[in-house]
Amino acid sequence: MASHAIEVKKLYKIFGPNGKAYVDAVKNGLGKAELNEKHGHVLGLQDINISMPAGGVMVVMGLSGSGKSTLIRHINRLIDPTAGEVLYDGVDVCKMNENDLREFRRHKTAMVFQKFALLPHRTVIENTIYGLEIQGVSDGESRKRAQGWIERVGLQGFENHYPNQLSGGMQQRVGLARALTNDADILLMDEAYSALDPLIRVDMQTVLLDLQKELKKTVVFITHDLDEALRLGDKIAILRDGKVVQQGTGQEIVLNPADEYITAFVKEVNRGRVINVETIMMPLTSAPQGVALQLGTPLESAARAMTFAKTSSAHVVDADGKPLGFLDLATIIASMVTPVSHEQKAA
């Protein structure tokens, strides 16, 4: 289990031959368009400050060109920053020497790519053990570990197939198995599911969530899809033109969009799948009634459970079954289609 968060502090990336010369100008208000037009440099990232939760899923999302892929490549230093820090376990990755950086990449990080990045001349198991080969792990041990992950991602029986014999979803399972076989603390997933068909994509999201419950990796997941971000992210950061527009939990972003840009993003969100029961529950004033709902239950699931039980009442309980609050079906339905009031959130 990963125990160290990733801290990104005051990170700037300016692409061009003399990027460092323009950091102060950008800090003082020089915009992306002007930097490009007048100085021939491109502003990739501007003053990024994100604390990525240890053992959780950090989703970085935004439209094409927002800087999200540039950001993830700073974590394993495939890109050097123009200014700023990327800290893991208190160590600045950006200041590691060549040997330390090589060891960090080999043992602490693993990457899953959008286009799978499988070696076409290698079988499934040969692709899966690739990282362990680089680490110098023996062939017998490598294959034993790889076989376990191949089975965990649902590819048992396909060990000796080549990538061109597999569907896109199966190829991405190989990519995930390869990353997990390395047993790295940090899992970097750059648009990992964007090339997949919608149903396969949802299936792969489920695979990741199920594995994450057990593994508790520090996952950094890049996407342009808000539904995917809301489903996967313990925390979400939304980028626009190289800057963080808003960050927080999915609920925080949906309930309190920072500006019109975020409001447009979340307008069509199914609120019933994002908002949890504790957000709208009210204090208990009498004995608990109706269905018992666990903390973290989405409103949509709560409404379904109450309907199935033929009751309009429910109470929210913690992991030990202790009652924490109550809610009714009418409040749930209203909250799924209209903004939650400040009074409800305060409760």
What mean pLDDT comes out for the span 157-177?
90
CA distance 316 to 311: 14
Quickly name the fold that domain 6-108+184-269 has.
Rossmann fold (3.40.50)
pLDDT for 38-95, tens place per residue? 999 999 999 999 999 899 999 999 888 899 999 999 999 999 999 999 999 889 999 9
Domain edges within the chain: 6-108+184-269, 272-346
Residue pair 60/220 in contact by the 8 Å Cβ criterion:
yes
Question: Could you count the other beta carbons within 10 Å of the beta carbon of residue 292?
Answer: 14
pLDDT of amino acid 233: 93
pLDDT per position as a tens digit, 14-35? 999 999 999 999 999 998 999 9
d(CA 217, CA 187): 7
Q: Please answer whether residues 298 and 272 qualify as being in contact, where contact means their C-beta atoms are separated by less than 8 angstroms.
A: yes
Label residue 89 left, alpha or beta by phi (over 0 means left) and psi (-120 to 50 means alpha).
Answer: left
C-alpha distances (whole Å) from 61 to each of 86, 235, 251 are: 19, 11, 15
Instruction: Please identify which residue in the block is written with the tokens 């290698």.
Output: 122
Q: Is the pLDDT of residue 285 over 50?
A: yes
How do residues 125-150 score in pLDDT, each as one tens digit?
999 998 888 888 888 889 998 999 99
Residue for token pair 């994509």: 201
Q: What are phi and psi of 324, to 5 degrees?
A: -115, -25
Q: Which helix (H) or strand (E) holds 233?
A: none
3-class SS string, 29-64: CCCHHHHHHHHCCEEEEEEEEEEECCCCEEEEECCC
Give the C-alpha separation, 73 to 193, whole Å. 17
pLDDT of residue 4: 59
Strands 235-240 and 243-248: antiparallel
Q: Where are the beta strands (DSSP E) in 157-309?
A: 186-190, 218-223, 235-240, 243-248, 291-294
CATH of the domain spanning 272-346: 3.10.580.10
